[in-house]
Chain A
């Protein structure tokens, strides 16, 4: 796959060529309603890529959309725990951005957004340029709060004690540490106090590492050091897996709030509990909305998250700036998940297209969440929910009686999980 090809396409997009070539987009001619204007999207993940594609589709190509994303390809966090287990490769969770440009006329700028001027309505880029916007969509994901784990607040330490909570090089490096570990060793994962990105993710990861150990290193152990008082998602299902499928391999320890680590000895230190030394120590640090949200002045909750109007996902504080995905202050029962970011993005995309054509946004948005966790390489459990807008409380609320979890793990759900990945990646990027 060629970077040259991408640069060529970017150049086409920058010249306005991509847009012209895309004017024959399929879609209903009445839907765009004559929307025009410039939208800049910061972040090409589950939220940003979905928003970019759907604004182009739903405005019939009328709205100019630029995505600022430093990574050359999309790498999915969902399913990436299977790379740690060894049943999937990083290439299996990697998808090209090419179709956003080729099929939808989205302009991709491979750069990092460093600052937002919300008065002038411009986004500054690390590479030196500036992008003007009518509406800005920030889907910037999370930054790690290294000040909460002081010994990890430098690049050397972060290369030894991995988080792998952004899929890509860290995922591959953690897999390599697991492969290099001698049989009889201990893998320990530290989980931050909620809220954090992907509530069931750490527990799924424990299962995937245990799946690998059970086959390749049966004397080894998986130790879960949870900052929370109990498993935060799908608790009974995970505990059953640890007691049965991974009996003697996985040990769960709640109420382990990490305060620091010793990098050289791979030791985790806690506020109350005894320190734990591991052969492979995996620390998922506490998180908050990424720095670009701070620059835009939209971090309004606890100095960590961005409060939004759920009809539009516009900041409650700053006009014309919308925030999606993990960076937002969640409503009740709303997980920080890739699926949820995709759903935020489509409510936002519909609202942005409506607002840019002088119409009111949908007063009754709906969000769903379906999150599959792999217990083995094939057996999967889910949690799902449906959230409707509550006019009086001005928030999204789970519908009483809806949603739920699996009765037991199954291979059928494993097939559904891979179906989910194919369809959501296509919904974002195809």
Chain B
């Protein structure tokens, strides 16, 4: 089991140093995790509504936002509750997958 640096969410600078390349046994893990976000952020992270698209967003930005939602540093209506359901490793993985998608 690899260890992931403990992220102190408010410390944005520290987050830039997080580059865990978590890979499960399933090569499509990032894609499958991202599919849990599609109901509000769109299929493959391309939103057709007013909530933001995630496709093509920098990985570090997505990780930072998720960690800020998790810690409460970033106020939210829903995401502060959902972000707490994902492990730090899963956040890295899903952010990396979205970053690699084409923005439309």
Contact = CB atoms under 8 A, between A and B. Distances in A.
B55 to A, nearest CB: 12
Contacts of A413: 77-78
Contacts of B31: 31, 58, 350
19 contacts: A31-B28, A58-B28, A58-B31, A346-B32, A350-B28, A350-B35, A362-B28, A362-B32, A366-B33, A366-B36, A368-B36, A368-B82, A370-B82, A386-B36, A412-B77, A415-B50, A419-B49, A423-B41, A424-B40
B40 A346 contact: no
Contact of B85 (A58, A339, A343, A399): A399
B26 to A, nearest CB: 4
A364 to B, nearest CB: 6
Contact of A382 (B27, B42, B78): B78
B39 A403 contact: no
Nearest to B52: A419
Contact of B81 (A350, A388, A402, A424): A402
B40 A423 contact: yes
A228 interface: no
Given A360-B25, A386-B82, A412-B77, A427 B38 contact: yes
Contacts of A388: 85
B73 to A, nearest CB: 16
Interface of A: 30-31, 54, 58, 339, 342-343, 346-347, 350, 354, 360-368, 370, 382, 384-388, 398-399, 401-404, 406, 410, 412-413, 415-416, 418-420, 422-424, 426-427, 430
A416 B78 contact: yes
A363 B26 contact: yes
Interface of B: 24-29, 31-33, 35-43, 47-51, 77-78, 81-86, 90
Contacts, number: 123
Given A342-B39, A370-B39, A423 B81 contact: no
A402 B39 contact: no
B35 to A, nearest CB: 4
B50 to A, nearest CB: 5
A416 B40 contact: yes
Given A54-B35, A362-B29, A422 B48 contact: yes
Nearest to A410: B77
Contacts of B49: 418-420, 422-423
Given A399-B85, A406-B77, A410-B77, A363 B48 contact: no
Contacts of B42: 423, 426-427
A365 B37 CA distance: 13
Contacts of A416: 40, 51, 77-78
B43 A384 contact: no
A403 B51 contact: no
Contact of B84 (A401, A420, A422): A401
A387 B25 CA distance: 20
Given A412-B77, A423-B38, A427-B39, 20 more contacts: A350-B31, A350-B35, A360-B25, A362-B26, A363-B24, A363-B26, A366-B32, A370-B78, A370-B82, A386-B82, A386-B85, A386-B86, A406-B77, A413-B77, A416-B77, A420-B49, A422-B48, A424-B39, A426-B42, A427-B38
Nearest to A382: B78
Contacts of A384: 78, 81-82
B23 to A, nearest CB: 12
Contacts of B26: 354, 360-364
A401 B49 CA distance: 29
Task: Tell me which of A30, A370, A410 has the highest count of chain B C-beta atoms within 10 A of its own C-beta.
Answer: A370
B51 A423 contact: yes
Nearest to B43: A427
A367 B81 contact: no
Nearest to B101: A28
Given A370-B40, A403-B82, A410-B77, A365 B32 contact: yes
A149 B64 CA distance: 54
Contacts of B29: 362, 364
A428 to B, nearest CB: 9
B78 A343 contact: no
Contacts of A424: 38-40
Given A364-B24, A370-B39, A370-B40, A403 B48 contact: no
Contacts of A368: 36-37, 39, 82, 85
Nearest to B24: A364
